A and B are shown apart, each in its own frame.
Chain A
Amino acid sequence: MSERVRGYALFATVALLLLVVAPLALPAFRLDELAKYLCLAIAALGIGLAWGQGGMLTLGQGVFFGLGGYAMGMYLKLHDAGGDLPDFMVWSGVERLPALWQPFGNPVVALAAVVLVPVAVAVLLGALVFRRRVRGAYFAILSQALAAAFVILLVGQQGLTGGTNGLTNFYDFFGRDPEAESTQRTMYFVVAGVLGVLYLLARQLVGSRFGRLLVAVRDGEDRVRFLGYDPALVKTVTFAISAGMAGLAGALFVPVVGIISPSLLGVVPSLELVVAVAVGGRYALAGAILGAVVMNYAKTSFSEEWAGGWLYLQGALFILVMTLAPKGAVGLYQQARDALARRRGASAAAVEKPGVAVKEEVPA
């Protein structure tokens, strides 16, 4: 029970920090950067769910992030163009609005697509792949290949996607100037709020029977079949949820950062996000969020000083984490806490036996 209270206390503290302290303490451009990290943290939360809880190492999360981002970007571009063709299409010599773009003129359709398109792609891929029991490293490789193919497709279809430049130069975000400080501030609160809500939902999912089933699928997919469940369904649902989160993250990223482009969602950015989750602690949802924020902050501050150095540092850090602390920062924290508890428990053992530990839920 105390575990649970402590969990809520921690959540409240972090919420206070993000919603009150950070907006007061940080200058506008730093707050904007934090909003960007929190967007990535939403996508990382999805990875934590799929990989940490479900054992699906998805190296193509950038695809879903991109689908959400482009859906949002397409709407904004069409809105800015006000009935004409978006600027980059004119430059590429496109004469008529492509059919693919037409539905995105409607904000409701576009906002729905932000989540539904990534979910649909994930369901299709998951159904095809998981049903045939393609898993583990095979799935990881396929998801990575998808990310590679997606980026090449985006870059190649200049007139349709804006090519390497992606979609940028937005002038109107639902009636407000996206560059204005007040808009950026509002967006920060929106992003932080979405992250908080999704975290609570994900936590609820992990604690539910479905969450237990997911862990069982992760640790013994074949055994789960003989308990009467279809692991492919469980995995597809989870993968789709994580894809939806990534899509939402991508859509929020667009007004916060002002661009969505292929270089943000290829093989490397997708892997970087996984790395962040691993560093933070893949088995805990909070670890995924922590990792995404810290790693991206480190990347920004380090790259400002010495661009190449970050790659060395990231590589080295990752080798160290994988060899010495595969459960990441959260794992280290838990280890330290347990060691402390043991030392304390040893002195108290004479008085009271630890007895049956009431394990309420996995730490999330």
Chain B
Amino acid sequence: MESLLNQLPIGLSIGAVLLLIALGLTFTFGQMGVINMAHGEFIMAGAYTAYMLQDWAGAQAAAVALPVAFALAGTMGWVLERTAIRHFYGRPLDTLLLTWGVSLVLQQAARDLFGAPNVQVVAPSWLNGGVTIGGGTLPYNRLFIMALAIACVAGIWAYQNRSAQGRRMRAVMQNRELAACSGVATARVDQLTFFIGSGLAGVAGVALTLIGPVGPSIGTYYIVDAFLVVVAGGLGQLRGAVIAALALGMLNSFAEFWTNASLAKVIVFAAIIVFLQFRPQGMFVLRSRALT
């Protein structure tokens, strides 16, 4: 029972990381119809940002790295959007393959820069330990990751619903042509969405350094699961992404607990296929009448 309770923070924090990763994917997919495989390498960029900052910020590196990683990964995303992806809007399969090429190059660059073996980032001391509740332990680092995700989701929600720029983003997502006709500078909105989405992946990368070592291919490990979150949550859906990410994180950690790590992935995959039988377009869908 005790160890079962311990699975809860593990599942929730993995879900939180998946959520941070999936937010960028679901927005760029929903808004621009592109699938960015290089998104995983923005996670890696974030993680290595924390690693690099250790020399300068010591044990506080992870905390300091959050804004830096956001800016760095965001800029990488922005550059990628400007140079390549914007020519491929509405062609998700082509972007998937194109950005995989980018992903290969970035991974190899990381291998050449930082070496192939995994590296460790020392977590800030105030994240050591945890609170004990009813026989289970809530480690501070996992709590911090959850808090981080909550803060980011709240920020995104406020941005989408309270700011003019965020409303433009939703407008473009729902109907690009109409938004363009109504005077929304769609290209600017796209760039900003890409920046924010990629930046969040960078934040997720920093978060990952708190729970384990990082390496050049860390992105490939998480990106597949993050895509599953997008599929299950529904395109461009904040609510859907939150629920799907947490559900996936929990399912994964409990399936690992009850069976073993190698079966857990198969169980998660089967669960998603079953879920799609009832909700083929994910949890939440934007209705449209067009015969696409």
Contacts and interface: CB of A to CB of B under 8 A. Distances in A.
Contacts, number: 120
B57 interface: no
B273 A125 contact: yes
Interface string B18-51: 0000000000010000010000000000000000
A150 B108 CA distance: 25
A156 B260 contact: yes
B101 A316 contact: yes
Given A144-B227, A267-B220, A319-B98, A311 B107 contact: yes
Contact of A132 (B88, B103, B276): B276
A74 interface: no
Interface residues of A, number: 45
A326 interface: yes
Interface string A104-119: 0000000000000000
B97 A142 contact: no
Contacts of A274: 97
Contact of A315 (B35, B108, B112, B269): B108
Contact of B263 (A153, A275, A317): A153
A8 interface: no
Nearest to A268: B220
Contact of B104 (A128, A136, A157, A311): A311
Contacts of B185: none
A152 B252 CA distance: 13
Interface string B228-256: 10110000000000000000000000000
Contacts of B269: 142, 145-146, 149
A319 B220 contact: no
Nearest to B268: A149
Contacts of A318: 97-98, 100-101, 104
B43 to A, nearest CB: 16
B230 to A, nearest CB: 7
Interface in A260-295: 267-268, 271, 274-275, 278
Interface secondary structure of B, over-half rule: helix
Contacts of B291: 222-223
Contacts of B227: 141, 144-145
Nearest to A141: B227
Contacts of A132: 276-277, 280
Nearest to B261: A156
A137 interface: yes
B94 interface: yes
A177 B93 CA distance: 44
Interface string B275-289: 011001000000000
Contact of A152 (B93, B105, B261, B292): B261
B265 A322 contact: no
A319 B101 contact: yes
Contact of B105 (A128, A149, A157, A311): A311
A315 B272 contact: no
B176 interface: no
A308 interface: yes
A164 to B, nearest CB: 12
B266 interface: yes
Contacts of A275: 97, 100-101
Contacts of B231: 138, 141-142
B247 to A, nearest CB: 15
Given A129-B276, A308-B111, A319-B84, A153 B265 contact: yes
B93 A136 contact: yes
A120 B55 CA distance: 54
A12 to B, nearest CB: 33
B292 A222 contact: yes
Contacts of B29: 137
B87 interface: yes
B101 A137 contact: no
A144 B224 contact: yes
A136 B105 CA distance: 25
A133 interface: yes
B105 A316 contact: yes
A233 interface: no
Given A140-B35, A318-B104, 11 more contacts: A133-B280, A134-B276, A137-B35, A138-B231, A144-B224, A148-B224, A149-B268, A152-B266, A156-B263, A315-B105, A323-B84
Interface of B: 29, 35, 84, 87-88, 92-94, 96-98, 100-105, 107-108, 111-112, 220, 224-225, 227-228, 230-231, 260-263, 265-266, 268-269, 272-273, 276-277, 280, 291-292
24 contacts: A57-B93, A125-B273, A129-B273, A129-B276, A134-B280, A136-B93, A137-B29, A138-B231, A141-B224, A141-B230, A145-B228, A146-B269, A152-B262, A153-B262, A153-B266, A154-B262, A155-B262, A222-B291, A275-B101, A311-B107, A316-B105, A318-B100, A319-B101, A319-B105
